[in-house]
Structure 1
Amino acid sequence: MTDPADAGTDPALERQLLVLDVNGAPYEVLCEPRRTLVDVLRHDLGLTGTHVGCEHGVCGACTVLLDDRPVRACLLFAVQAEGAAVRTVESLSDGRELSDLQRAFADHHALQCGFCTPGFLMLAEGFLAERPDPDRAEVRELVAANLCRCTGYQPLVDAIHGCATARRAARKEN
């Protein structure tokens, strides 16, 4: 029988230094390669706006942007984000004023308990950057990717489409 002390160290448990770009700022984190991005964001960086829901990539509460594309932070290892730009819900506002998207969510009553809201905001932010002029059907299809148990999806569609419409009007003015 082999003595466990002679087995060596499991490389999957060895901590390594990661340099992450989160919300435009560099962070150094010492963690095991098996740690998820959502855990590092919440527990190591203190960015608790990204929520942990199902931990299986189904609910979308943990959605963040990775190089401007929405991803489920519970399904990514933090090491996979190294060298990429990560944006969390905290990046949408300067802490004094809501972003136009956050304001649209409030104006259209697209939040109730708020648990799913950060994931929907980041999903919408990534979507609107790629598709600035979506129709309502495209927005409806988008919101079907995340789960909300309180508001229903119509206020979310109204908020995201309303934000897109306001951004389009602002572009025409400039």
Structure 2
Amino acid sequence: MSIAKTARAMKTSGSHQAWRVKGLRGPAATTMAEMPVALWLLILMIFPVLIIAVSSIRFGFFWNAVRETAMMAAKCQTFQNDSAVGISAVNTADLWANKATASFSGITIVPPVNVYILQTNVISGTSTKGTSRQALATSADTDNNIYDIQVEVNGQIEPLVRVPFGGTTGAIPGLTGPFPVVVRSQYTAEVPQGLNK
């Protein structure tokens, strides 16, 4: 008689002792024996994926905040000094970067917000990058150049849970502490005549 037939015969007899006598394992015992292994596999697989997913979502929010900051800075009438029309590109970048990242937990900005003027020659295609947060020395030459506003923001993305490691492992960004990121975004200046102000 096969083991399967013996097990069915014992199961239909209703005797719980029959399982023990023949050395066969019941269905509940198998599940209980496999449960710790299955739970550890789930924890070891799902928890790291969850940490990576949360960090990726936070980075996406940070990237979008920098993109919005550059877009708003490119719309300003002046670059360095506020005017009667509105605030400057530099001050707009500071305002929007802090405003956009304050809406989400786990994202911090490391000041300053760097704002550059990129000047690209339309004939040669070469670009020059100005000093951060400094206006052009002369008026913009819109016949020969295209002007972009580039915003660069340094930040830190906090992990979902900080995992404390001791010993000589050191700090692991994104696991034992925040993950440092640098994001740049640029848009064409809508009012290049104000880049020297």
Same fold (TM over 0.5): no
Larger radius of gyration: 2
Kindly indicate which of the two structures has a greater share of residues assigned to strand.
2
TM-score, normalized by length of structure 2? 0.20
Normalising to structure 1: TM-score of the pair? 0.21
